[in-house]
Structure 1
């Protein structure tokens, strides 16, 4: 057993030094869906038919996990589910593993050929990477980073602090969420937070404070969300919605938040709960 295999939680890896064992975790992927067993949890390798091309994902509480591309029409036991459903019902390490399965299988399907000389790529032993045997180009699983910002201001007339919540023009449009956006090349996380706030709601903020991060399979393969809190520079300023990415933006007292908030498994909700719990009442 490797050192990583003995660690608790989910540890990503690409160890192919041994084939899948019967008791290893198995995550078939079809498009944007994963196959779970009748109990809603992941299958074991020996519960599925032979012939699937298993790719290593890492370990979950020391147990190796594998993914394989499959067709939803295939006769396999269990049911196909989107990542959102898996994340809502299973513990966090399992949701992270499911997200990695989606990312790795999607990346392998879309990165089969060399973009420079069109030769078929080959796996790099021990890494989540593929290399061209013709020109030696190496392609790694891409990582896209996005920032989320929970913006607060002091409450008015001695009331509770307020947090800025927005409704997006895409995705779950009924939810009140946070200002968010992807980091550009050459940009720091903090700079991205300032830019996204200015672009989406026309506000300026003080220095953002990092809180937490979360892999997020809903936004595509290899997406990582970095969460920040920040205080608005001018407490009297009101948001001006960009009308392109957002449809609404409002200040809400932390003790009177709307019911339509992001799900509990999301970092957006973690940040909202953090500012609500830490604000003076």
Structure 2
């Protein structure tokens, strides 16, 4: 069966009166077929997106639940909450179980988060956030890790900043990922610093700099792309998913911000994140 588009028009006689009606028909079968295909493809894409969202939600639950149990029971054994465990080796093993479980949980979280972003299933829970509080709490999370690696962790924060309209958990995730990367790739005796300021033209700026091993230009491009291996030897030496920077970049871009990477081998790396001016709330948040 074919589909036609018909246009009718009056035909007038010599006296100027309409004597009949003419028509022109165009076969639009192929166009209608193409429109139907586009509509079906759109519906299939929406179904696939919903299926992906459900799958990731289920996987998140299925993977995290047993890991949380493993980590929790390891802490019970390590801290001898139910009584003495006997040999100190048990506590050491429990510590190893807890550390390994936490590491695996972090890897799973990174992979699931990046998968959600790439499938378009992440929704920002935006609110007015105190960026100084978020920065301080992020620094606190990395303090022990920096100390254990003999890395100096410095902060340069102003006394007050306007609030930011953003997803608090995601902004904290960005900062923790950047700080974690910086601490991980900075040798003992090195320095990691975080600086936060407000630029009237471009908005809030977060900058994390380190005196670590640095990267070559070609490695920088790979570092910002998910699932890219920079150097297999580095991956073996420095544990992690390698998704910290790509995930941070994706989360920044979800806020319509930008992430800029500068690095030099043997000198260190600087990551600058900018949140756009339209996300700034007028009144400042003062130091508590």
Instruction: Give TM-score scaled by structure 2 length.
Output: 0.22
- Structure with more strand by fraction: 1
- Structure with more helix by fraction: 2
Q: Kindly name which structure, 1 or 2, has the bigger radius of gyration based on alpha carbons.
A: 2
